[in-house]
Chain A
Amino acid sequence: EPEVTQTPSHQVTQMGQEVILRCVPISNHLYFYWYRQILGQKVEFLVSFYNNEISEKSEIFDDQFSVERPDGSNFTLKIRSTKLEDSAMYFCASSWLGEINIQYFGAGTRLSVL
């Protein structure tokens, strides 16, 4: 069964550093999403992306965050200057045109900001 893959599984970084979290969505999917889950809290929507542009973003997704689809297979989330409170599990998801309401999730990247 096709899967969304995320790398790395765990990223440790120093506060103020830039990080890029990588995702490879399922190959025929056209809608992409990032969510995050701070330890002990709910999974929260960050951003959705379609046709090479952001469709929707939450209030969490401020200027420190950006997303990109640099080629035909990858979808990245960049955090420009990480803060302690960015420590969380980040989930990528994708959905396809025929069933856009159903999102398929990756296993997540645990980001630890020290």
Chain B
Amino acid sequence: AQSVSQHNHHVILSEAASLELGCNYSYGGTVNLFWYVQYPGQHLQLLLKYFSGDPLVKGIKGFEAEFIKSKFSFNLRKPSVQWSDTAEYFCAVSRYGNNRLAFGKGNQVVVIP
């Protein structure tokens, strides 16, 4: 079964700092890659996705992620965070042709004003 790894479960940083969250997956075939965000008390929302094409994808709220196939990675970045980015961030992977999502454990990000 595929697995998804996210490290540094708790991240605390100040406003305007840069954020990078790592995501690695174990499946060797073609994959679809996602980052979801869950703000306090809210539902999981899609931040960005990669299916094919340009490995650098841009999502909402200034987030971007880079797919590096050779490293089985899909790291999330934001150059300058805001207090409103305080949330839990989940990386998820599905195999091509299959909708079943495998999630990482999540990163709890706290941005201090």
Contact assessment for A42 and B103 in the assembled complex, using a CB-CB cutoff below 8 Å: yes
CA distance A11 to B20 in the complex (A): 36
Contact assessment for B105 and A105 in the assembled complex, using a CB-CB cutoff below 8 Å: no
24 A-B pairs (CB sep. < 8 Å) = A4-B43, A31-B99, A35-B101, A42-B4, A42-B103, A43-B101, A43-B106, A44-B103, A45-B102, A48-B99, A55-B99, A56-B99, A91-B43, A91-B44, A101-B32, A101-B94, A101-B99, A102-B46, A102-B49, A104-B46, A105-B36, A105-B44, A107-B42, A107-B43
Q: Which residues of B contact A (CB under 8 A)?
A: 4, 32, 36, 41-46, 49, 51, 90, 92, 94, 98-106
CA distance A101 to B34 in the complex (A): 10
Number of A positions contacting B (CB below 8 A): 25
CA distance A112 to B44 in the complex (A): 21
| Closest Cβ neighbor of B9 among chain A residues | A40
Total residue contacts A-B, CB cutoff 8 A: 52
Which chain A residues border B4 with CB–CB below 8 Å? 42
| Closest Cβ neighbor of B41 among chain A residues | A107
Q: Which residues of A contact B (CB under 8 A)?
A: 3-4, 31, 33, 35, 41-45, 48, 55-56, 58, 91, 95, 100-108
Contact assessment for B100 and A56 in the assembled complex, using a CB-CB cutoff below 8 Å: yes
Q: Indicate the member of B42, B102, B103, B104 with the most A CB atoms within 10 Å.
A: B103
Contact assessment for B98 and A56 in the assembled complex, using a CB-CB cutoff below 8 Å: yes
